[in-house]
Amino acid sequence: MFVLFLLAGISHVWANFKRTQMGYTLSQLKKEISQLEDRNRKLMLEIAFLKSPENLEKRAVKEFGLIHPLPHQVIYLP
């Protein structure tokens, strides 16, 4: 009888320990998800900025020295 109570007590303590451990793990995973979602939002904004025509034109001028062609440099094909 004592052994039965001992096993019941140990299993109860073990179950509570596992529940607490899972709660902590779940909390950590939720925090990580939140951080990754925030990082994803920031990266999406960065992508939008990098693809914007204003940014592309500014980089083309600054990094590659490109300029708009003069009217006599443009050839229109029929």
What is the Cα–Cα distance from 66 to 14, expressed in whole angstroms?
69
Structure tokens at 8: 């019941």
Residue with tokens 């592309």: 56
Structure tokens at 30: 């939720």
pTM, whole model, 2 decimals? 0.63
Task: Spell out the per-residue pLDDT of the chain, length 78, in tens.
Answer: 877 878 888 888 888 999 999 999 999 999 999 999 999 999 999 999 999 999 999 999 999 999 999 999 999 999
What is the Cα–Cα distance from 74 to 31, expressed in whole angstroms?
56
